[in-house]
Amino acid sequence: MGSARPAPAPPADAGCREAPARAREPGAALLLVFEDLHWIDAESQALLDSLVEILAGARVLLLVNYRPEYEHRWGGKSYYTQFRIAPWGPRAPRNCSSSLLGSDTSLQPLKQLLIERTEGNPFFVEESVRTLVETRALAGERGAYRLTRDVTAIQVAPTVQAVLAARIDRLPPEEKRLLQSAAVIGKDVPFVLLRVIAELSDEELHHGLARLQAAEFLYETSLFPDPEFTFKHALTHDVAYGSLLQDRRHALHARIVEAIEASYPDRLAEHAERLAHHALRGEAWEKALIYVRQAGAKAIGRCAYRQAVAYLDQALVALRHLPESRETIEQAIDIRLDLRNAHMPLGEHDRMVEHISAAEPLATALDDRPRLARVLAYMSSNFFIARDHHRGDRRR
């Protein structure tokens, strides 16, 4: 976990005049909390990075939490402090299992088994208990269960992923397919898209969603303007997605592209990133090229250059799957010029030279003078940046 602590709050703007007086007092402070940064999307990360940069002049406490694999560039900030959260102590897992199972003394061997197998991970414990209920090893209700078989006959899966996979496999076929379809859409699932790809009647769809919510695979997070659902946990999403055969995944991703295009015909630019993701995964290469380039342009427009590079690299991947033509070669040149511009603010000179050098023979082969002029101008500029003035003058 990390926190960034700075100093005085800016005055409320005109749009905040209806706020309570105490929120505008000079001494008032603001607390912001961002959770689970290891799952953060690129746009939210860009917002968070911008926020961190201005904290030194604001009366704000920003709290974030994340797993060790998450990386950031705030370590050098004087107002950044990191705290390591240690694993649960010995009592916490027992308290967790007791709140789930109950206090009956006959459950004590099962509690000990769960603690040993799950190492006290609360999500793992909870999913294991659900599995025992679904397989009728436990009867009763939460907080008041009783064993229906000897604890020595009970097996606990070695990983939480295995527990989730077993729970998904036990679903009725229609509900399993619905959950898998939802997983292809993403961790957050707009109903309007699920309705298009689920291949169910409205009655069957609503019934299936109700069952998946009752089993706590999904939660409803929004009713207005459109219903939206989310997976209870990112691991649940990952396991459901991983249970699909590759051909089925490709087909669903391609259908989601069509569903987004049909559902938001006047807002496609707003959905460029989602369209790019599904077109790539669905191997709809022509559409992937269009939407990945749009997503890259949006990223450059908001100065998210690292994200722009990732999108434009994907554009080159999509391009390689299309038949070669003058149009695709022109696009290859333009993408590399865009990549040069995205690498420049990152100070990645070698990558800039790499893309310009790859674009030059393409423009020469097409005898495309406007594009060749841009390529040579960029190349000359790159030589000057590298202080290779002799080669730069020869290119001018």
Q: 232 φ, ψ to 5°?
A: -60, -35
SS3 98: helix
| Span between the terminal Cα atoms of the chain, in Å | 52
Q: Give the integer Cα–Cα distance in Å for 396 and 384.
A: 11
* Percentage above 90 pLDDT, the chain: 50
pLDDT for the residue 220: 92
* 4 sits in which H/E element: strand 2-4
pLDDT above 70: residue 190: yes
pLDDT above 50: residue 280: yes
Q: Alpha carbon of 335 to those of 189, 249, 315, 330: distances in Å? A: 32, 28, 7, 9
* 52 sits in which H/E element: helix 42-53
DSSP, res 200? -
Structure tokens, 339? 């990549």
**Angle formed by the axes of helices 202-214 and 173-185, nearest 10°:** 90
Other beta carbons within 10 Å of 328: 13
Bridge partners (DSSP) of residue 139 are 146
- Please name the residues in contact with 219: beta carbons below 8 A apart, sequence gap of 6 or more: 213, 229, 230, 231, 232
What's the gap between Cα 2 and its chain centre?
20
pTM greater than 0.95 (yes/no): no
Instruction: Mention the CATH class of domain 172-244.
Output: mainly alpha
Q: Alpha carbon of 212 to those of 112, 178, 201, 268, 281: distances in Å? A: 30, 9, 16, 30, 25
Tens of pLDDT, residue by residue over 65-119, are 887 778 888 888 888 888 887 656 666 666 777 788 888 788 888 888 887 887 7
Confidence of residue 392 (pLDDT cuts 50, 70, 90): very low
Q: Which of 17-21, 146-150, 212-216 has the highest mean pLDDT?
A: 212-216
How big is the chain by its Cα radius of gyration, in Å?
Answer: 27
pLDDT for the residue 13: 39
* 210 sits in which H/E element: helix 202-214
Mean pLDDT, the chain, rounded, equals: 85
Tens of pLDDT, residue by residue over 323-365, are 999 999 999 999 999 999 999 999 898 899 999 999 999 999 9
Tens of pLDDT, residue by residue over 215-257, are 999 999 988 778 899 998 888 999 999 999 999 999 999 999 9
Domain ranges of the chain: 2-82, 91-166, 172-244
